[in-house]
Chains A and B, each alone.
Chain A
Amino acid sequence: MTADGDMEMEEGAMSREEEKIVEEETLDPLFAQEVAREPGGEGIRACFACGTCTAGCPVRRFNEKFNPRRVIRMVLLGMRDEVLRDPFVWMCATCFTCQERCPQGVRISDLMRALKNMALRRGNLPEGIVVQSKLLSEKGTLYPLDEFDNKKRQKAGLPPLEQGEKSLAPLMEELLEALGPKDGKD
């Protein structure tokens, strides 16, 4: 079953309070281990939920959907689907404010990166990533310069930049594969 794991429930049958209850049988006890094996996810178990990360998070100031302490709790509880299917992991700005301040030394920005990497492998990613990956694999830059750009550079007294073939595809194989058509497996 895919996005709506609890289809047998009647729509609208839950009150707000009930929605917040985490059902034990939906938890995946192996999820935290899986995250800890991902590069950047290693130190997650050290979190004692003080909330220093959330207090300093610039994204959280403007959008309550993203809350680093909550994300970490969800991972430790084993809420695999909720974490990896929702777009909120992509909202982390990678500003490192939380990572610098965490009293437990959890690399929170790196952890969020790990969750994004895992979400991507399940097909949860912003469209912009697909576009960027394609550009880099073909051109090696996010802003390929054309002749017009080089004219503008010349006018500004800047040296022209080489526009040779700089395909990065051989270094990006696994990513391009993961972004390719899904065959239904995770």
Chain B
Amino acid sequence: MNKRYALFLGCTIPARARSYEMSVRALASRLGIELVDLDDFTCCGFPMAAAHYWVSQALAARNLTIAEKRGLDICTLCSSCTSSLTEASHFLEERPHEKREINQRLAKVGMEYRGPVKVKHFVRILWEEIGVEGLRENVVRPLKGLRLAAHYGCHFLKPSEVYGGFDSVEDPKVIDELIRVAGADPVDYSLKKQCCGGSVLVADERTALAIAADKLSELKALDVDAVVVVCPFCGVMFDSQQKKMEKTFEQTYEIPVLYLTQVLGLAMGMGEKELGFSMHAVKVKALLERLGEGGEAKG
């Protein structure tokens, strides 16, 4: 199988989740997945769905069309971009009247979408195209003894009708299994499936923070080493907003937030610099020192 995809970064990653992007590029290069940067991509359309359905669909379809012109399928890193582009790709096939409607709009910018263009989250590509065995072969430093909590978030798996049977929504396992591949212990917990709260920020900050803090409270009680995410929205929510949650609810969490690609990168022997840990708001240092990684871990 030719593992070649157009890399769709979306809005948040290049500006606010560079460590995620670094770890993805490092893993892709190690595993022989070619990610092609296309300059013309714009916002996936997701943030505009609440404002105007057809506008959001047109923005999504515009991006699909750009990949189609280059003859590439799309690799996404953000779960919200994944759902926005996958929904567009799915429904434009399923509902011909929507495709006509969208193509009338795309004509204004001289484009036409034929389809289908496939859209896959990078972690799904790892799971389906590299596979557990292929990944395990590359592990040189199992992360023994690390207790990691998988956060699936919402749009990595939902709406399930457009994801063609990728993992179970009510009993997901992909992230837990990949944590195991890295040699760490996935920690089960009751709020595993709960949303990060990020999409509520625009309407009601306190409620959004309460949803995220709820999960962090449980993880604090379980004494996990880190929470593991696959979406920059969730990453920013748990990492960059954690201080604000601590202040708002008068709690201390101090739970590091790792991207799954960083966890796998560590297990494959990649270093702190390559994986961008210094950019995280909640310090990852203590965790790295335990693994013998990082400047002060001398003995």
Residues of A within 8 A of B (CB): 38-40, 58-59, 61-63, 87, 90-91, 93-97, 99-100, 109, 113-114, 116-117, 120, 125-126, 128-129, 132-133, 136, 140-143, 145, 149, 152-153, 156-159, 161-162, 164, 166, 168, 170-172, 174-175, 178-179
Contact = CB atoms under 8 A, between A and B. Distances in A.
Contacts of B214: 61-62
A100 B22 contact: no
A39 B279 CA distance: 41
B31 interface: no
A94 B158 CA distance: 10
B44 to A, nearest CB: 10
Given A39-B53, A39-B54, A100-B158, A93 B22 contact: no
Given A61-B214, A109-B159, A162 B52 contact: no
A165 B61 CA distance: 19
A132 B48 contact: yes
Contact of B50 (A90, A145, A166): A90
Interface stretch (B7-15, B129-137, B175-183, B219-227): B7-15
Interface residues of B, number: 56
A143 B211 contact: no
Contact of A142 (B11, B22, B193, B199): B11
Residue with the highest number of chain B CB atoms closer than 10 Å, among A94, A159, A178, A179: A94
Given A136-B43, A145-B15, A95 B195 contact: yes
B211 A117 contact: no
A59 B109 contact: no
A183 to B, nearest CB: 19
Contact of B207 (A91, A94, A95): A91
A59 B196 CA distance: 11
B109 A158 contact: no
Residue with the highest number of chain B CB atoms closer than 10 Å, among A58, A87, A172: A58
A175 B211 contact: no
Contacts of A133: 48, 51
Given A168-B42, A171-B62, A93 B51 contact: no
Contact of A136 (B16, B22, B47, B49): B47
B276 A116 contact: no
Sort A-B residue pairs by CB-CB distance and give the 4 closest, nearest first: A140-B42, A143-B15, A96-B158, A162-B39
Contacts of A40: 53
